[in-house]
Amino acid sequence: MANIWQGLFRHFCNWLYFARISVVSPERLPPGGSVLFIGLHRNGAVDGFVFDTVLGHPIFLISAQLRKRILGRLFFSGIEVVRPKDAGDRGLNAGAMDKCLRHLRTGGQLMIFPEGTSSLGPRHLPFKSGAAQLALDCLKAGTMIQILPIGLHYERPWAFRSKVEVVIGEPISAELGGTLTALGRLKELK
């Protein structure tokens, strides 16, 4: 029941908040299978609402702070991690990454914001290593995944009824040279 409510709420927010959501290169969206979506995070929670609608409701890796209060639990769902800037037990993050790996290994679709937070600055923030490590763990476990970068551009991100453009990037290959060390593979994929 919560998933139905959350889906309806996200669609309503998108309809209310944005004048238009358009998608560039929608043919790049895979019809199914294990997909790791890597998305830029520009404008807070509304980014997730847009991605959820366009990508067909993937599971999100989210900050645990979004679900600390009852109102947040009504509106947000996903696999929770505790970021360094959040209060909470970061020791639980290994379990969260295991959940992500299991989800992808069973053919699920997962959305990760590799910046770890949102920013309206002139360019993306530095990427964290979690998404790259997860992709490498999938490959190590023998799970073939599709890695798809997603860009998000707001005509006026600060304005009500802005237009939004979602750009579906070309799939990223996780096939790396065999001569790289484990750390080298992580850095290369990141």
Backbone torsion region of residue 113, taken as left when φ is above 0, otherwise alpha when ψ lies between -120 and 50, otherwise beta: beta
- pLDDT at residue 186 tops 90: no
- Mean pLDDT (the chain) is 86
Per the structure block, which two tokens stand in for 65?
């702070």
Task: Say whether pLDDT at 82 is over 70.
Answer: yes
Which of 119 and 68 is assigned the larger pLDDT?
Answer: 68
For 19, residues 6+ apart whose C-beta sits below 8 A from its C-beta are 161, 162, 163
pLDDT of 33 higher than 80: yes
Which of the 8 DSSP states describes residue 40?
A: -
Mean pLDDT (whole number) for 21-28: 96
What is d(CA 25, CA 167) in angstroms, rounded to the nearest whole number? 7
Q: Which is higher by pLDDT, 121 or 188?
A: 188
